Amino acid sequence: MTEETALDAAHAAMEAAPADDAARLRFYERLADCELFLMLREEAQGENISPELFEVGDGRFVLAFDREERLARFAGQPAPYAALSGRVLSAMLAGQGIGLGLNLEVAPSSILIPAEALGWLQQTLGHAPDEVQARISEFTAPAGLPEALIAALDSKLATAGGLAQSAYLVGVLYDTGARSHMLGFVDAVEGARDALAKAASEALTFSGIEAGAMDVGFFAASDPVSASLAEAGLRFDLPQPEPAEYAPITPGSDPAKPPILK
């Protein structure tokens, strides 16, 4: 029996509490972050892919699974697929009136997700945080934050391996007198700031907190400010991947270039 996946657990929590918006948001967050195996009619040709399309009473759907073996079990045999994240898949399908059949018939997380829900997910993921300049007067221990946000940050930063060494959640006082909370990243790799800021913004969005706000900052480990972060803040360690060996580029590996449907 296949072990329970993160999508299985999130789907079960959503089904157990249909009126709980936070549980529904967590499911869609897991869907966006996880790797999916999209069933194809034929092997991918470069960036061009031909997903299997299924017509049901509710519309047209592509099929994707969160494990290769689940796809093979559904198909009854090995089948061509494209491996891509849920966020890339939602961007690829946006505006085409095509929904997603997830883990159909082979897992407890079997569900038909309509095109409208995928459109909402793509729009939500496309929201970019604003950039502002402010001078920090003091860091304090974070206070009054719901556990849902802490858990959302922990889950989200686990998917940002290698983009920074660590992050600290702190209270912050600005020279204007304004108070807020900040997620401070230490030693972010070059070019990763936008992705990390977006990850923090998504954690806040998908935690289900209404009218919440959280700032994001970036600091070098050698900066004395980082010592203040460590002293006052709640630390999150980002996974550090092993040195990668060369691998051919696969469809969907670049979020800025979703695969092209044929």
Domain boundaries, the chain: 6-126, 136-237
6-126 and 136-237: identical CATH topology: no
> Which pLDDT value is given to residue 246?
47
What pairing do the DSSP bridges indicate for beta strands 260-261 and 48-49?
Answer: parallel
Topology of the domain covering 136-237 = Alpha-Beta Plaits (3.30.70)
Whether pLDDT at 20 is above 90: no
Please give the average per-residue pLDDT across 34-42, as a whole number.
Answer: 93
Please give the average per-residue pLDDT across 3-24, as a whole number.
Answer: 91
Counts of helices then strands in the chain (DSSP H, E): 8, 13
Between 238 and 209, name the one with better pLDDT.
238
Please give the average per-residue pLDDT across 36-56, as a whole number.
Answer: 88
Q: How many angstroms separate the CA atoms of 40 and 80, rounded?
A: 5
Largest interatomic CA distance in the chain: 64
Tens digits of residue pLDDT in 90-135:
989 988 999 999 999 999 999 999 999 999 998 888 766 666 677 8
Q: Where are the alpha helices (DSSP H) in the chain?
A: 6-16, 21-33, 68-75, 86-93, 115-125, 147-157, 193-206, 224-232
Q: How many angstroms separate the CA atoms of 171 and 61, rounded?
A: 45
Whether pLDDT at 251 is above 60: no
Per DSSP (E only), the strands in the chain are 35-39, 48-49, 53-56, 59-65, 81-85, 98-102, 111-113, 136-140, 166-174, 179-186, 215-219, 234-237, 260-261
Token readout for 83 is 């491996």
Q: Do 166 and 238 touch, CB atoms closer than 8 A?
A: yes
Whether pLDDT at 230 is above 70: yes
> Which pLDDT value is given to residue 124?
84
Question: What is the number of residues in the chain?
Answer: 262
Instruction: Supply the DSSP symbol for 109.
Output: T
User: What percent of the chain is modeled with pLDDT above 70?
Assistant: 87
> Which pLDDT value is given to residue 211?
46
Whether pLDDT at 259 is above 70: no
| Predicted TM-score (pTM) of this structure | 0.70
Taking the domain 6-126, which CATH number applies? 3.40.1350.90
Q: Whole-angstrom distance between the N-terminal and C-terminal Cα of the chain?
A: 35
Q: Do 115 and 89 touch, CB atoms closer than 8 A?
A: no
> Which pLDDT value is given to residue 207?
80
Residue owning tokens 């360690």: 237
**Mean pLDDT of the residues in the chain:** 86
Whether pLDDT at 225 is above 60: yes
Please name the amino acid found at residue 35. E
Of the pLDDT bands very low, low, confident and very high (cuts 50, 70, 90), residue 212 is low
